[in-house]
Chains A and B, each alone.
Chain A
Amino acid sequence: EVQLLESGGGLVQPGGSLRLSCAASGFTFSSYAMSWVRQAPGKGLEWVSAISGSGGSTYYADSVKGRFTISRDNSKNTLYLQMNSLRAEDTAVYYCAKVGIAVTYEAFFDYWGQGTLVTVSS
């Protein structure tokens, strides 16, 4: 059974930093790209970042580029999101998601964690 378990959320002051983790199990972690998606309170889903299975390719939304860094440790089956220079508008539930690939190469997010809440406030 695929399981994704996020941790590391909490209250942080504007300008501060936080590192989120996502522990994965139930699949060959290094074979799959992974992604972070966030959802501000009462708002829709916003894609944040993605990383290839090897970790060699990373992608970011313009809203977090230069402030957030996605990484992974395939030996520990863990995905990370380092968040620096946090702003009030970064307040959201952050989900990690496993990226699946169709036989015709379309990508999709087939498994999601339960989410971790990040609150940026003074």
Chain B
Amino acid sequence: DIQMTQSPSSLSASVGDRVTITCRASQSISSYLNWYQQKPGKAPKLLIYAASSLQSGVPSRFSGSGSGTDFTLTISSLQPEDFATYYCQQSYSNGYTFGQGTKLDIK
């Protein structure tokens, strides 16, 4: 099974900061990597698919990059509504594994 490891597990930042979250796959997954945002008590929301494609309706301050085993999610200028937990997910194999999550909170 493909394992997904996110870093950091938690992160404190301020409004306006640039933030980067990293996701590493245990084997090459090409560009089969998605990013989701989840707020407490809510369903996850798709932000980025295929490593770098922005989902419709998602603000352009979110961007994704990477291929193979190493990927990043970048938020260029944090807004108050961005404080949430972020998950990466691989769709290379039928296991659709998620990373353990990165909780982003206010400094």
Contact = CB atoms under 8 A, between A and B. Distances in A.
Interface residues of A, number: 23
Nearest to B44: A112
A104 B89 CA distance: 17
A109 interface: yes
B34 interface: yes
B53 A102 contact: yes
Main secondary structure of the interface of A (DSSP, over half): strand
Contacts of A106: 31-34, 49-51, 91
B44 A46 contact: no
A102 B50 contact: yes
Contact of B55 (A59, A61, A104, A110): A110
Contact of B44 (A45, A100, A107): A45
| Interchain residue pairs A-B with the least CB separation, the first 3 | A108-B49, A112-B43, A106-B50
28 contacts: A37-B44, A44-B87, A44-B99, A45-B38, A45-B44, A45-B98, A47-B96, A47-B97, A61-B95, A62-B1, A102-B49, A106-B34, A106-B91, A107-B96, A108-B46, A108-B49, A108-B89, A108-B91, A109-B34, A109-B36, A109-B44, A109-B46, A109-B89, A110-B49, A110-B55, A113-B43, A114-B43, A115-B43
